[in-house]
C-alpha cells in the first residue's frame, strides 16, 4: 500500500488534537509527509476517548482522522519534555498546533521560541476565533460556530427547532484551510528558503465557506432561512417526495427543457415565464407544489430511470449505510482495510485525490498511544540512555 507522495521527506511535528488540526495533518500525511503526533501523557488526544463506538478500546472518531502518523507521548508541563519537543523541531519542516492563543507561548513552544531553534520553520496554527477580536480566548466548538455564523438558522426548518449540519463542517473546513495554507508556505520555502507563521481559525474558515450565502446577503441584505434541501438560487434543486420516499433533483438553468420533458410536460419548456430561472426561484413554493404533485405518482426507482433517460441530475436520498453500498461510491476505491496493532482490522477512508507521479496514500494505521516514542526519539538523535532517562523522569512515555 505504501507509495511516495509529493511531500515525501517533509517532517511535521504535530501538536494538534481533537478533529480540525488532526484532519489537517492527516491530509499532509496522505501526501507523503512524516507526521509525528505529540500526545498527552496517559490519555493522549482527547478524541481517543470519544465514543462509542470502540473496537478493542480504539475509538472510531480517532481512527477516522489519524492514519499515517507516529505517536509519541510527552509531558508538556515537564521542562525535559519541552526540550525533547524542541530537539524534534530541529529536524522538522513544520510545527502544527491548535491550542488557544497564548498556550504554546506559555509552554515555551511558541513561534518566536521555536524560530530560534529552527529559523526556516513553518509554524502552522489553528484557533477557534483567531488571535484578535473579542472572542479570542473563548472555546470554539462545531455547534457554537455554526450558530454564530448563521448556518444553523439557514438549515433550521420553518417553525422547527434549530438544526445543525451534522457533518463536522466547521472542523473539517478549518483543517483543510490549515493544510492548504501550510502547503503554500512549503512552496514558498522551497522557492526562497524562508519559513513563516501560518495562521487560520475555525471562524474565518467557516465565514469563507458561506460563499454564495454571503453573496446573497451582500447584495440583498438578507438570506433565506429554513431552506431544507432547497437551493435559494436555483429551481428545481431540492429533494422531492415520491410515491415511496424522496428523490433529489438538480436542474441547471439551461436544462429546464430536459426536466420538463422528463416530467411529461414538454410545454413547460415553451412557457416564457417558467423558462426563466429567476422566475422559478421567485415562485419557488408554487413550482414546488406543482412538481411534487407529479413526483408523488411514481417511486424513486421509477423516477431515477426517467431522469437518467433525459440526462437530468438525480439521486436517491441515501442513508450513510446505503451510500457506502452505492456502486458509484464503491468505484472510487476510497474505502480501505488496514491492520491495526490493537483494534485488529479497521476500515478507513483513503485520500480523495489522484496524482499520477506521486500518489501518496495509506502507509500507517492510526497509531496506538505512544506507540512510536522510542523510534521517533532515536531517529531524532537521542541515544537509548537519554530515552531511558526521559521515561524515568516522566517527561515521555510509550514504547
Contact at 8 Å (CB) between 47 and 17? yes
Residue that is written with C-alpha cell 473546513 in the block: 173
Helix (H/G/I), strand (E/B), else coil: 80:
helix
Strands (E), 18-145: 34-40, 54-55, 58-59, 69-74, 94-97, 122-127
Cβ-Cβ contacts under 8 Å for 354 (sequence gap 6 or more)? none
Helix (H/G/I), strand (E/B), else coil: 281:
helix
Q: 312 is written with which cell numbers?
A: 437530468
Residue 14: C-alpha distances to residues 26, 37, 40, 163, 190 (Å): 10, 5, 12, 33, 21
- The catalytic residue positions are 171
Q: How far is CA 78 from the centre of its chain?
A: 32
Find the angle CA(379)-CA(105)-CA(394) to the nearest 5 degrees.
Answer: 50
Strands (E), 140-291: 196-201, 237-241, 246-250
CA neighbor of 71 nearest in space, from 305, 366, 303: 366
Amino acid at each position: 500500500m505504501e507509495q511516495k507522495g509529493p511531500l515525501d521527506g517533509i517532517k511535521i511535528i504535530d501538536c494538534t488534537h481533537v478533529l480540525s488540526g488532526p484532519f489537517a495533518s492527516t491530509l499532509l500525511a496522505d501526501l507523503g509527509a512524516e507526521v509525528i503526533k505529540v500526545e498527552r501523557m496517559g490519555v493522549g488526544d482527547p478524541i481517543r476517548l470519544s465514543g462509542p463506538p470502540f473496537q478493542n478500546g480504539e475509538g472510531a472518531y480517532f481512527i477516522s482522522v489519524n492514519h499515517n502518523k507516529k505517536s509519541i507521548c510527552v509531558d508538556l508541563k515537564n521542562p525535559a519534555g519541552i526540550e525533547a519537543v524542541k530537539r524534534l523541531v530541529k529536524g522538522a519542516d513544520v510545527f502544527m498546533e491548535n491550542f488557544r492563543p497564548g498556550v504554546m507561548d506559555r509552554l515555551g513552544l511558541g513561534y518566536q521560541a521555536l524560530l530560534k531553534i529552527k529559523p526556516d520553520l513553518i509554524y502552522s496554527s489553528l484557533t477557534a476565533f483567531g488571535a484578535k477580536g473579542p472572542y479570542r480566548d473563548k472555546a470554539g466548538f462545531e455547534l457554537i460556530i455554526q450558530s454564530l455564523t448563521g448556518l444553523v438558522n439557514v438549515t433550521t426548518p420553518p417553525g422547527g427547532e434549530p438544526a445543525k449540519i451534522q457533518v463536522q463542517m466547521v472542523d473539517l473546513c478549518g483543517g483543510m484551510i490549515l493544510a492548504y495554507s501550510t502547503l503554500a508556505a512549503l512552496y514558498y520555502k522551497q522557492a526562497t528558503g524562508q519559513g513563516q507563521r501560518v495562521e487560520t481559525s475555525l471562524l474565518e474558515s467557516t465565514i469563507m465557506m458561506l460563499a454564495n450565502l454571503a453573496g446573497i446577503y451582500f447584495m440583498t441584505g438578507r438570506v433565506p432561512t429554513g431552506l431544507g434541501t432547497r437551493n435559494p438560487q436555483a429551481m428545481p434543486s431540492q429533494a422531492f417526495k415520491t410515491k415511496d420516499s424522496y428523490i433529489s433533483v438538480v436542474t441547471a438553468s439551461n436544462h429546464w427543457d430536459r426536466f420538463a420533458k422528463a416530467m411529461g410536460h414538454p410545454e413547460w419548456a415553451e412557457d416564457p415565464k417558467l423558462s426563466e430561472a429567476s422566475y422559478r426561484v421567485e415562485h419557488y413554493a408554487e413550482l414546488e407544489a406543482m412538481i411534487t404533485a407529479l413526483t408523488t405518482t411514481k417511486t424513486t426507482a421509477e423516477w431515477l430511470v426517467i431522469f437518467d433517460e433525459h440526462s437530468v441530475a438525480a439521486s436517491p436520498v441515501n442513508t450513510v449505510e446505503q451510500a457506502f453500498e452505492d456502486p458509484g461510491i464503491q468505484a472510487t476505491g476510497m474505502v480501505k482495510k488496514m491492520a491495526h496493532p490493537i483494534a485488529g482490522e479497521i476500515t478507513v477512508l483513503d485520500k480523495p485525490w489522484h496524482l499520477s507521479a506521486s500518489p501518496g496514500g495509506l502507509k500507517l494505521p492510526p497509531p496506538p498511544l505512544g506507540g512510536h516514542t522510542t523510534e521517533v526519539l532515536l531517529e531524532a538523535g537521542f541515544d537509548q540512555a537519554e530515552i531511558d532517562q526521559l521515561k524515568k523522569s516522566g517527561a515521555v512515555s510509550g514504547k
